[in-house]
Chains A and B, each alone.
Chain A
Amino acid sequence: KAGVTQTPRYLIKTRGQQVTLSCSPISGHRSVSWYQQTPGQGLQFLFEYFSETQRNKGNFPGRFSGRQFSNSRSEMNVSTLELGDSALYLCASSLAGAFNYGYTFGSGTRLTVV
């Protein structure tokens, strides 16, 4: 079956702009989480959505937001981009109630802010 699909793979934006990243989870997976990966801070949890509801959010400013649709696809949005937002953004999905099996990750979206 298809894995976690993230689009686009690469993105270049200018400081001050906003960006929307997309994630399609594995069919049947209702939990979608987002992580930011940078050389300096490593992998950090952004937020998790389950059945269209945000269940938790990491320690990121309000410029970072997300949503989940009824088909479990998720989008994350970053407004007023800053240079420090340059990162690899990873999406991960999981079966509800089966978190012990771990998350399946996509290949990420590489965002560069110039």
Chain B
Amino acid sequence: AQTVTQSQPEMSVQEAETVTLSCTYDTSESNYYLFWYKQPPSRQMILVIRQEAYKQQNATENRFSVNFQKAAKSFSLKISDSQLGDTAMYFCAFMKLAGGATNKLIFGTGTLLAVQP
């Protein structure tokens, strides 16, 4: 069974600084996807960034980038130029590629990020 571990329950960063959130996962699968979701107080889970396991290049979306280390099963999220609106719970998620069958997300326990003014 796959597991996702986020070892940092809470983190704090000053506005405009850079912060890195950690995520490790365990799987025997070779084809899978990894995601970072953000959940602000509005409760809606918002997709931040995604990574296909077969791609060696790290994904980047504006101020958000990942460091994907497949051999180490590590998938960290770097937020540059942190903004107050980045304050939220961040979840790392794993999805096995199931060839058309259910592609359920397996979530980590989350990291609560607070951006301080």
Task: Report which A residues bind B (CB closer than 8 A).
Answer: 3, 33, 35, 42-43, 45, 48, 55-56, 58, 88, 90, 92, 94, 97, 99-108, 110
A107 touches B42 (CB 8 A): yes
A99 touches B33 (CB 8 A): yes
5 contacts between A and B (CB under 8 A): A45-B106, A90-B43, A102-B47, A103-B105, A108-B44
Contacting chain A: which of B22-30, B69-77, B95-103?
Answer: B95-103
A107 touches B44 (CB 8 A): yes
Query: Which single residue of chain B is at the shortest CB-CB distance from A58?
Result: B104
A42 touches B107 (CB 8 A): yes
Task: Report which B residues bind A (CB closer than 8 A).
Answer: 33, 35, 37, 42-47, 50, 52, 91, 95, 97, 100-110
Q: Which residues of A contact B105 (CB under 8 A)?
A: 33, 35, 43, 45, 92, 103
Chain B proximity of A25: nearest CB distance (Å):
14
Query: Which single residue of chain B is at the shortest CB-CB distance from A96?
Result: B100
B103 touches A101 (CB 8 A): no
A105 touches B103 (CB 8 A): no
A101 touches B107 (CB 8 A): no
Nearest 5 A-B pairs (CB), nearest first? Answer: A56-B102, A105-B45, A99-B103, A43-B107, A45-B104
